[in-house]
Amino acid sequence: MRKIRIGASDMEVFPLGIGAMAWGESKVWGYGADLGYAEVRELFAASIAGGVNFFDTAEVYGNGRSEQNVGRLLAETAAPVYVATKYAPLPWRWTKGTVSTALDRSLKRLGQESVDLYQLHFPFPFVPLKAQWHALADQVARGKVRYVGVSNYNADQMRRAYEVLDKRGVKLVSNQVEYSLVHRSPEVDGVLEACRELNVTLIAYSPLGRGLLSGKYKPGQKPTDVFRANGPFKEAHLRKVQPLLETLEQVGKAYGGKTPAQVALNWLLRQPNVLAIPGAKNLRHIQTSLDAVSWEMTAEEAAQIEAASSGYRQVEFYRPLGS
């Protein structure tokens, strides 16, 4: 099985990682049931058994609960895994001291002396970015952080972060942004181009369009919860995505009946220097992700899919709410 090297790091990872937002508290987003630790442990074990060795969390996921669960899992496994977490640079907590405190708290929840990848979760308006980048470089010097990443950064912000960190002898290795067949803006806003130029891995969150690419919902059958019904699953969005889903189904038939979700993930795996991190709330989600890796669509099929999703390449389909 091929591996992906994250940027200029020594982290070689399975082509898919797992986003652990749902392993904290789903009610942050207003839908779904919370997962108990026994359920999270089962999902982690299935991921490890399938070859997954990269798990992404954040201090804000479940107000630290996701990090705590990941920490318990790390204490129970001998499997070599890489862990990434994220720091939220809010207006009252962006100085070197507050970054250090936030990191130490994350490490305590994770039960680790250091973290493989520490990411700035988003560029908060009016909060000085350069000070945050220097603060992260300081944590690398402390030995608390192995590698530095950012999240939700545009191309210009990423280039500036790369330059500042590089002068400190620290490589920026990743930028975590939304990327899927229904959110292809990284291809046209310069982010994907900058990632490839700088050898920064694009970590793709919401690679299934927050579930839209699962094909579970059809026009007139949208979910009842407020978040999804008024976000990606609006009736107009469900109608718009149907031709793309039909194309995904058609391609999937040539590979033993792969689902639209598996075909959508397989397409993303074709993109150079991209690591997808789908979430997982049940074993079916894990198996869907694993079954997307063991085959490869043709260039012609990829072109067919890209043509069917071209309407999502220019304009942001819906505004990202987080990662």
Show which residues are catalytic.
Answer: 61
181 to each of 65, 206, 217, 312, how far by Cα in Å?
Answer: 30, 10, 17, 7
Tokens 């979760």 belong to 121
Q: How far apart are the first and last CA of the chain?
A: 27
* Separation CA 323–CA 178 (nearest Å): 7
315 to each of 19, 45, 117, 319, how far by Cα in Å?
Answer: 25, 38, 30, 10
Give the angle 195-199-201 at the CA atoms, nearest 5°: 60
Instruction: Give the DSSP H or E segment for 69.
Output: helix 65-76
* Separation CA 277–CA 289 (nearest Å): 9
By the 8 A CB rule, do 116 and 148 touch?
A: no
19 to each of 47, 90, 169, how far by Cα in Å?
Answer: 11, 22, 29
77 to each of 59, 71, 143, 180, 221, how far by Cα in Å?
Answer: 22, 10, 23, 31, 41
From the list 156, 199, 195, 196, the residue with the least C-alpha distance to 176 is 195
> One-letter amino acid identity for 50?
G
